[in-house]
Amino acid sequence: MKRNNVIFTLGAFLVLLAGFFAPSIVTNPFYFFAGYVVVQYIVIATGWNVLGGYAGYINFGAAAFFGSGVYLSAFLFNTFGVPLWIGIIAAAALGALLGLAMGYLTLQIQGVYFAIATLGLVIVLETIVHNLPGLGGARGMAVYGPAPPAWSGGPVQYVFFVILIIAVACVALARWIEHSWIGRGLRAVRASEDAAECSGVPTLKLKLVACSISGAMLAAAGAPYPFYTNFIEPVTAFSLLIGLNAIAMPLIGGTRSWAGPIIGAIVLASAQQIATVTISSELNILFVGVVLIAFVALAPNGLLGLAKRKSAGASK
């Protein structure tokens, strides 16, 4: 365990270092544009998995949290000139609050109801944003970010580094949860909620903690987005595709461990990025649909589960 921690910390540090120096090695900005999307989905998938993978509570509404993060940081910047890092903290706080409220309202009910209630949250929040003129309503908001710091190498390189920091922080947190008493408790909840409750696991408290952490990560993923696109509007901020990818990526990678969502996000988001600039047609979305069906049918525990099964078969 201890040695693993050292390796993980070292790995995280190396990733950040690589991200910091990347702009001086990789001169082509395209890789930062595409890379941003991939890393953003690592954050989303990791955040989703804290509740969905560890506790088994399906959140259809990742876009609700993501979108509120997007809008909060954009609003704070446009009206008060609040810098991005405060925007990220504020977004995480809002996401945690939303998650907590959502948890209080719905966690007493069974899993599927929870999933549907979260879907509802997306629509309610999107409707609210549509009707608030201060947030630009349907016309959206242009966000012309400040000049990036000189060391960053450019605006897109800068937001890429920012989302990379968020990703490393979220993955570290998710990994810690997984190995701590929270993770053990959540696994008990997933296996059987009643049994866990009977054996003295504080299930409701655990679920609320998971809800808030998950919500905070999802909202933090949205905070740098306005500075990536320079323009936000409700339809893309609350897009169904975000909620869909948030579920699909952990599922593809494997929901049992922190590495699963990362693998899933890298595989699926890169495939989507490549498909966008190669296949360029309906086939792109068709591809996502087929991949989803294939994974559910053939590899229900994701790539990690598949790898485990392979190695178990080999050792036999």
Partner 1 sequence: MTTRRQFNKLATLGTLGLAAPTILSSKAFAADKPIKIGASVSLTGPLASTRAGEIGYELWRDDVNAAGGLLGRKVEFVIYDDQSSASNVPAIYSKLVDVDKVDVLISPYGANLSAPLMPFIKQRNLFMVGMFALAGNDRARSDKYFHACPWGPDSMLGWPRGFFDIAKSINAKRIAIINSDLEFSSSAAQGGNQIAKEYGMEVVMNQSYPPNTSDFSAILRNINNVAPDAVFVCSYPADSAAIIRGVKEIGINDSVQIFGGSMIGPQYGSLLGSLGEDLNGLVNITTFVPAPTLESPGIERFFERYTPIAIKEKLDPLGFYIPPFYYVAGQIIEAGIKGSQSVDTAKMAQYLHSHAIDTIVGKVAFNDIGDWTKRRTLMIQVQNVKGNDINQFREPGKQVILSPEELKSGNLITPYNAARKAS
Partner 2 sequence: MTSSLDIFLNAISTGIVLGSIYASIALGLAITFGILHIPNVAHPALVIVGAYFVFFMGQWGVGAIAAALVGLPVFYLLGMALYSFYSRTFERQGQANVLQSLTLFFGLSLVIEIIIALLFGSELKSVDASYVGSSLVLGPITMPYRLLVPALFAPIMIGALWLYLHRTHSGTAIRAVAHDDRALSISGINPTWIKRHAFGIATATAVVGGAALIIMGPVEPFAGRFQIGRVFAIVVLAGMGSIPGTLVVAIMIGIAESFVSAYLTPSWSPGVAFAILLLALGLRPQGLFGATR
Q: Residue 87 or 260: which CB sits closer to partner 2? A: 260
**Pick 51 or 217: Cβ nearer partner 2:** 51
30-52 and 155-179 helices, crossing angle to 10°:
20
Q: How far is Cα 223 from Cα 158, in angstroms, rounded to an integer?
A: 14
Residues β-bridged to residue 142: 231
Q: Give whole-number Cα distances, 72 to 10, 45, 216, in Å.
A: 33, 21, 13
For residue 24, state whether it binds partner 2 (rule: CB under 8 A).
no
C-alpha 128/C-alpha 179 separation (Å) is 38
**Closest C-alpha to 248, from 288, 284, 286:** 288
List binders of partner 1 among 144-203 (CB under 8 A): 144, 150-156
- Cα dihedral value 159, 164, 165, 170, nearest 10: 130
Nearer to partner 1, 57 or 225 (CB): 225
Burial class (CB in 10 A: 0-12, 13-18, 19+), 69: buried
Note whether 1 binds partner 2 by CB under 8 A: no
- From the list partner 1, partner 2, none, which binds 123 (C-beta under 5 to 8 Å, kind-based)? partner 2
CA-wise closest residue to 117 among 133, 137, 140, 101 = 101
Choose the one of partner 2, partner 1, none that binds residue 293, judging by a C-beta under 5 to 8 angstroms depending on kind.
partner 2
Which stretches of 178-246 are assigned E, i.e. beta strand? 231-232
Query: Minimum distance between the CB of residue 229 and partner 2, rounded to whole angstroms?
Result: 22
Exactly one of 93, 117, 165, 271 binds partner 2 (CB under 8 A); that residue is 117
By CB under 8 A, is residue 293 in contact with partner 2?
yes
Q: Which amino acid is at 242?
A: I
Q: Which stretch binds partner 2 (CB under 8 A): 74-82, 145-153, 165-173, 281-289?
A: 281-289
Binding residues (CB under 8 A) for partner 2: these are: 52, 56, 58, 60, 105-106, 108-109, 111-113, 115-117, 119-124, 126-128, 130-131, 240, 244, 247-248, 251, 255, 282-283, 285-286, 288-293, 295-297, 300
Binding residues (CB under 8 A) for partner 1: these are: 21, 23-24, 27-30, 32-34, 36-37, 127, 130, 137-140, 142, 144, 150-156, 228-231, 233, 235-236, 239, 241, 273, 276-277, 280-282, 284-285
